[in-house]
Structure 1
Amino acid sequence: MNIYKKTDTNIWTGRTSNDQLYLHEKITCIDLENDELPENQNTNFAILGYACDEGVKRNLGRVGAALAPDTIRKMMAPLSNHFDHKIHIVDAGNIFCNESALEKTQTYTSNKVSQLIDSKYFNIILGGGHDLAYAHYNGIKKSKPNTTIGIVNLDAHFDLRQVKTEANSGTPFYQIAKENDRFKYLCLGTQEESNNKELFETAEKLKVEYIKNTSFTIENKDHIISVIDNFITQVDHVYLTIDLDGFSSAYAPGVSAPSPFGFSIDIALVVIEQICKSGKLISSDIVELNPKYDIDNCTARLAARLAYYIMKFISSS
């Protein structure tokens, strides 16, 4: 099996019109290995799939996230298209993990992330496990060397586990911290129940900023906005990563580690809009959908709407 494959255009289906009324009619599928990326002076978005759950398997989680990218695409396809005709959206295909070769997959992904950023595309990468974050960050770093890249993670977990034998979906931000002098990380929605004492101690040592799920609420909006504003002023670029298991399982049952005490959609949209309109957001991803455990594609639909809103907020800023 190849590590990369162009997306099957049949995935992008829905109602048809003569005026691109639906999102699937606006999508152009390209082959990153053989096609030239369309050039445009206006806003460009690239959707890239990270069809890999080897990191989840290594982290003793419930596998199935490798099926997520195409599932999210199917939920995005019938959405109404309200984007300006000048905005280009390309589907850049899927990256796969063969024979448990996670590190090889991550290196390949980093190169493709860098390629897209260098070509002036804003990435929305669909995971896959959260081990994507290590590859994604390194791709941004390759494209933007000698800059400070701030990570904003909406997540129930810090994902700061130390690498004892091999990397996994719980280690990406620890790996990034150990390889970079300028480590700036803000975790929103983290839960005490989902992170042991050692992980909180690691977060303190690495000077990680965080807001627990009990405070990550719409009622606390003004404080949250202030924390994010302060964080953004300290960095050159922002990388936004959204782990669907941070949401309450009422919204996101289809994840490896569901939680009834996760955060709500309202506060997530507030901060996503704030970050998108900051002018510093350079790339984003949505991870940890597990279609095997989803209910009526509820979580996949949430992921699709989040991707849609990211493009909406950026294109209107």
Structure 2
Amino acid sequence: MMSLVFEWTGREDLNAKGKRFHQVVQNIKIEDLKKTSEQSFSFVGFECQEGVRRNKGRLGAKEGPNAIRSMLASIPYHVEKENLFDIGNVRCDDENLEDAQKRLGESVAGIISKQHTPIILGGGHETFYGHYLGVREAIGPDKKIGMINLDAHFDMRIDETPSSGTMFRQILESDAHAGYLVIGIQELGNTEQLFDTAAQLGAQHVKAGEIYPIESTYETIDAFVAAHDVIIYTICTDVIDQSIAPGVSAPAPFGLDAQTVRNITNYVVQKEKFVSMDVSEVNPTYDVDNRTSRFIAYVLAEAISNKNK
């Protein structure tokens, strides 16, 4: 089911040019979204940590969507168009991850059908499977989906039970028209078996220590984009150094710095084939002074601003 609507509130400046996100975002039911030919964005949250629980991670990610919204609310809004909507959160009830992912997919497909760009707020990284289901439903079975994942982990475990660590294997084994590029891989975060599985299923990867010079990573992204019809993007917050993002399921001592995350995100979202994105694994239970949710909110605010240009 959908949870109660988030109340977007925050600081207000007595000036026509003093707008902040909370003054622009419109809460709306998905059935009331209007089709548009102009760039518009719709938030949907995924209040779920069942995949993390199954993957034996630290719990708390189900509080991520509203924590991100809280930090985003008072960020200054620098876009002339007021084109932001929020359809609420899809909740995972009774540990029924598969049903929740299906419902998230239906919401994502509904947003795309109105020609809005979905921004999905996780939730554990099991969020991505629902994200993928929605895009696949929206574009049909034959178009090539390119999945770009900013992540320290492959998330291609061979476990029989779906979790936050299995999605990309699930997708690649069942969808011949899906491709996978993961950027930020940590050798100390993945077993040899996971590297083997990635190679066997044709996944491409860039290790965290090989991202620079950044131009080489951009070239890898460009080639990947060229080989697919649409691009969907996901940020697993545990790719970020734990000094910046302590509030995650699996903290990263050797994680990426803030500028790298910003650069790659802005590069991907400005691609013409980009259709949707999610941010996952923000865990307020372990956050410090809202560092993690605040950083992700800034990344999203910048991406929205750049996509609107």
Which residue, out of 15, 20, 23, partners 2:21? 23
> 2:292 pairs with 291, 296, 299, which one?
299
- Against the structure 1 CA distance between its residues 40 and 192, is the aligned structure 2 distance closer, same or farther, given a 3 Å change threshold? same
Aligned to 1:196: 191
Distance 1:221 1:18 in 2: 40
Higher mean C-alpha deviation, range 266-275 or range 205-214: 266-275
Between stretches 193-202 and 259-268, larger displacement belongs to 259-268
* Structure 1 residues 25-64: aligned runs within 5 Å: 25-32=23-30, 35-64=31-60
SS at match of 2:129: helix
Task: Identify the residue that residue 2 of structure 2 maps to in structure 1.
Answer: 4
Report the secondary structure of 2:77's partner residue.
Answer: coil
| Counterpart Cα distance in 2 of 1:304 and 1:281 | 19
Alpha-carbon offset, residue 310 of structure 1: 1.7
In the alignment, residue 234 of structure 2 is paired with which amino acid? Answer: T
1:139 partnered with 2:134: yes
**Matched residue, 1:284:** 277
Residues 173 and 17 of structure 1, relative CA distance in 2, 3 Å threshold: farther
CA distance in 2, matches of 1:53, 1:216: 30
Aligned-partner SS, 1:50: strand
Deviation at 1:6, TM superposition (A): 4.1
* 1:21 CA drift (Å): 1.4
What residue is the counterpart of 1:206 in the other structure?
201
Question: 1:207: Cα distance to partner?
Answer: 1.2
Shift of 1:18: 5.3
* SS of equivalent residue, structure 1 residue 214: helix
1:110 deviation in Å?
Answer: 0.5
Q: d(CA) in 1 for partners of 2:3 and 2:13?
A: 26
Q: CA–CA distance in 2 between the matches of 1:216 and 1:94?
A: 34
Confirm or deny that 1:242 pairs with 2:231.
Answer: no
Q: Does 1:313 align with 2:309?
A: no
1:221 correspondence with 2:218: no
Distance in 2 (alpha carbons) for counterparts of 1:94 and 1:16: 29
CA distance in 2, matches of 1:252, 1:8: 23
Contact in 1 for aligned 2:36/2:114 (Cα 8 Å): no
Tell me the TM-score normalized by structure 2. Answer: 0.96
Cα separation, 2, equivalents of 1:254 and 1:88: 30
Q: CA RMSD in A?
A: 1.3
Do 1:12 and 1:73's aligned partners in 2 also have CA atoms closer than 8 Å? no
Instruction: Kindly indicate whether residue 40 of structure 2 is the aligned counterpart of residue 65 of structure 1.
Output: no
Where does residue 254 of structure 2 map in the other structure? 261
Aligned: 1:149 with 2:135: no
Amino acid at match of 2:22: H
Unaligned runs of 5+ in 1: none
Q: Is the 8 A contact 1:6 1:29 kept in 2?
A: no
Matches of 1:12 and 1:59, distance apart in 2: 35
SS at match of 1:75: helix
For 2:308, give the aligned amino acid: S
Amino acid at match of 1:157: H
Mapped partners of 1:81, 1:51: distance in 2: 26
2:122 to 127, 130, 136: 127
Q: 2-side partners of 1:46 and 1:94: how far apart? A: 12
- Structure 2 gaps of 5+ residues are none
Equivalent residue letter for 1:259: A
* Per-residue deviation, 1:135: 1.0
Deviation, structure 1 residue 16 = 4.4
Distance 1:300 1:221 in 2: 25
Distance in 2 (alpha carbons) for counterparts of 1:250 and 1:176: 32
Identity of aligned residues (%): 33
Report Cα offsets for 1:170-208 as digits up to 9, x if no partner.
Answer: 001011011101231000001111110100000010111
Residues 64-122 of structure 1: CA deviation (Å, up to 9, x unaligned)? 0000101100000000010113x410011011111101011011011110000011110
Q: Deviations 1:218-260 (Å, cap 9, x if unpaired)?
A: xx11111111111110000000000110011111111010011
**Take 2:99 and 2:14, find their aligned partners in 1: how far apart are those partners?**
42
Contact 1:6 1:31 in 2 (8 A): no
Q: CA deviation at 1:268?
A: 1.9
